[in-house]
Amino acid sequence: MQLTITKADQLKSKPDDSKLGFGTTFTDHMFNMDYNLEKGWHNPRIESYGSIDLDPSTMMLHYGQGVFEGLKAYKTGSGAVQLFRPKDNFKRLNRSSRSMCIPEVDEAFGLHALKQLITIEKDWVPSAPETSLYIRPTIIATDPFLGVRASHTYRFFIILSPVGAYYAEGFNPVKIWVTKDHVRAVRGGIGEAKTPGNYAASLFAGEDANKKGYAQVLWLDGVEQKYVEEVGSMNIFFVINDELITPMLNGSILPGITRDSVISLAKIWNVKIAERQISIDEVMDANDSGKLSEIFGSGTAAVISPVGELKYGDRVISIGDGKVGPMANKFYKAITDIQYGKAEDPKGWIEPVS
């Protein structure tokens, strides 16, 4: 497939690197590609960033048939731009697509197009400490049709957004609410797909937790509401008796790339690691017997998000005296050092752009 590149007539002024937030500013160009039954995926193009003209009956808007990804490009000390495990994002995009009846894209071509796009937008990759260029590949169902079935046409697009340091106010632990009233996903459902519906399903509980002064929701399984699944839109890790424990992938948990990176590094470091079911009761018991030393979330946006307080029913427990634990610190530093090219990449995770 031939990628067409049409440069924007006018370029926007770039924001100040030190004042970036998350997801508010977008670059000059975007990638677009279309799908129909006759041609399959076709017309891949890089063009001006701009709105997409959609009929009000567009299927995505009504039935949520869509998938997305989230990854980042990082600028190293020498000014090079690099990606962290992008092949895994394209692989997961296709995996999500399969569960949503969306046609798969050519992963190698997708990565090629992304690298081209980033090369064109190289000056948009911020260089202030811990800033990055956030990348959002998305596929939406575009048939103008109100019947319920899989769409016959799709749009795949990639947009880029320079983002600020996640921990601009310091690497501090957050307070977490364990919800018993809501579930995010169920086994047999679409929990393991990165699809908008899972985010819609998480909003009510998230807002509720925020109102009560908690940053995120800890999700229990959707069947028995007994086993821990995820925290907010991150995977979750516990340190109990010096062993790292994370819920095993069971169909309703999103297979995070950061989760996998933590597990891989733990293995390299000979840290005991278990992927298994862990009940909320086991977590509370471990706390009561003094064996629970850390809890942290993992995801692309925050990398590692330490948990300092957990509320479950009438109980509020403080983890590690509300301070960031050594494991959370070690994983955060190791992963970000690899991403910014400050440390050796032990697993071939880095993909240079330019």
Ligand X SMILES: *Cc1c(COP(=O)(O)O)cnc(C)c1O
Whether the CB-CB separation of 48 and 9 falls below 8 Å is answered with yes
- In angstroms, what is the minimal distance from the CB of 214 to ligand X? 18
257 binds ligand X, rule: CB under 6 A: yes
Token code pair at residue 129? 């400490």
User: What's the burial of 101, exposed, middle or buried (CB within 10 Å: 0-12/13-18/19+)?
Assistant: exposed
Residue choice 126, 173, 256, 325 for contact with ligand X (CB under 6 A): 256
Binding mask 176-205 for ligand X (x = CB under 6 A): ------------------x---x-------
Whether the CB-CB separation of 242 and 215 falls below 8 Å is answered with no
CB closer to ligand X out of 195 and 287:
195
Binding mask 209-248 for ligand X (x = CB under 6 A): ---------------------x--xxx-------------
- In angstroms, what is the minimal distance from the CB of 211 to ligand X? 21
Whether the CB-CB separation of 328 and 341 falls below 8 Å is answered with no
Alpha-carbon distance of 47 to 30, in angstroms, equals: 6
CB closer to ligand X out of 234 and 278:
234
Q: Which residues contact 88 (CB under 8 A, 6 or more apart)?
A: 257, 260
206 binds ligand X, rule: CB under 6 A: no
CB closer to ligand X out of 30 and 253:
253
Stretches 31-39, 41-49, 96-104, 252-260: which one binds ligand X (CB under 6 A)? 252-260
Alpha-carbon distance of 198 to 183, in angstroms, equals: 10
- In angstroms, what is the minimal distance from the CB of 280 to ligand X? 18
Alpha-carbon distance of 228 to 281, in angstroms, equals: 10
Determine the distance from the C-alpha atom of residue 173 to the mean position of all C-alpha atoms in its chain, rounded to a whole number.
Answer: 19
CB closer to ligand X out of 155 and 194:
194
- In angstroms, what is the minimal distance from the CB of 50 to ligand X? 26
- Angle at the Cα of 324 from the Cα atoms of 320 and 326, rounded to 5 degrees: 90
88 φ, ψ (degrees, to nearest 5): -70, -30
Binding mask 14-53 for ligand X (x = CB under 6 A): ----------------------------------------
35 φ, ψ (degrees, to nearest 5): -130, 135
Secondary structure class of 313 (helix, strand, coil): coil
CB closer to ligand X out of 65 and 258:
258
Single-letter residue type at 166: Y
72 binds ligand X, rule: CB under 6 A: no
What number of chain residues touch ligand X (CB under 6 A)? 15
Residue choice 254, 265, 310, 319 for contact with ligand X (CB under 6 A): 254
Q: Which of residues 86-145 bind ligand X (CB under 6 A)?
A: none
Q: Which of 37, 23, 38, 32 is nearest to 5 (CA)?
A: 32
Q: Which of residues 269-298 bind ligand X (CB under 6 A)?
A: 298
CB closer to ligand X out of 262 and 310:
262
Interface residue list for ligand X (CB under 6 A): 70, 194, 198, 230, 233-235, 254, 256-259, 298-300
